[in-house]
Amino acid sequence: MTKVNGQLMSKEAFLKDAPYSKEPYEGIIVSADTRNDQYKIGIQLSENQVLLVDKVEDGAIQERLIHWIPRVNEIQTQYNVNNDLQNYADQ
């Protein structure tokens, strides 16, 4: 298992100037980079930290998400993310 390299950044920086952002899958964030006509794909490592793993054009976003979604847990483990399931605790 090769460690995924990407750009570590704050969630605020990842979403900066993005008129559109979405979390299509737990742990993945997609934001529009209208300056470069691309979408940025990031893996959320904590509440305020994101690993930018990919930049793609509009026509390739679905294909790249299919590539990254199965790797979310692996990447979070590589970066020592504690997958706290408190959001799913019984109330």
pTM (2 d.p.): 0.84
Residue spans of the domains in the chain: they are: 13-79
What are 42-55's pLDDT values in tens digits? 999 999 999 999 99
30 to 48, 50, 55, 78, 84: CA distances (angstroms): 15, 11, 10, 20, 22
Return all residues near 47 (Cβ < 8 A) that are at least 6 apart: 11
Contact indicator for 14, 42 with CB cutoff of 8 Å:
yes
Give yes or no for a contact between 16 and 33, defined as CB atoms under 8 angstroms apart: no
pLDDT tens digit sequence for 16-37: 888 889 998 999 999 999 888 9
Per-residue pLDDT tens for 46-86?
999 999 999 999 899 999 999 999 999 999 999 988 765 44
Find out whether 30 and 39 touch, Cβ atoms under 8 Å: yes
Grade residue 91 by pLDDT with cuts at 50, 70 and 90. very low
Q: What pLDDT does residue 1 have?
A: 60
Residue 56, helix vs strand vs coil: strand
The answer to whether 83 and 76 are in contact (CB under 8 A) is yes
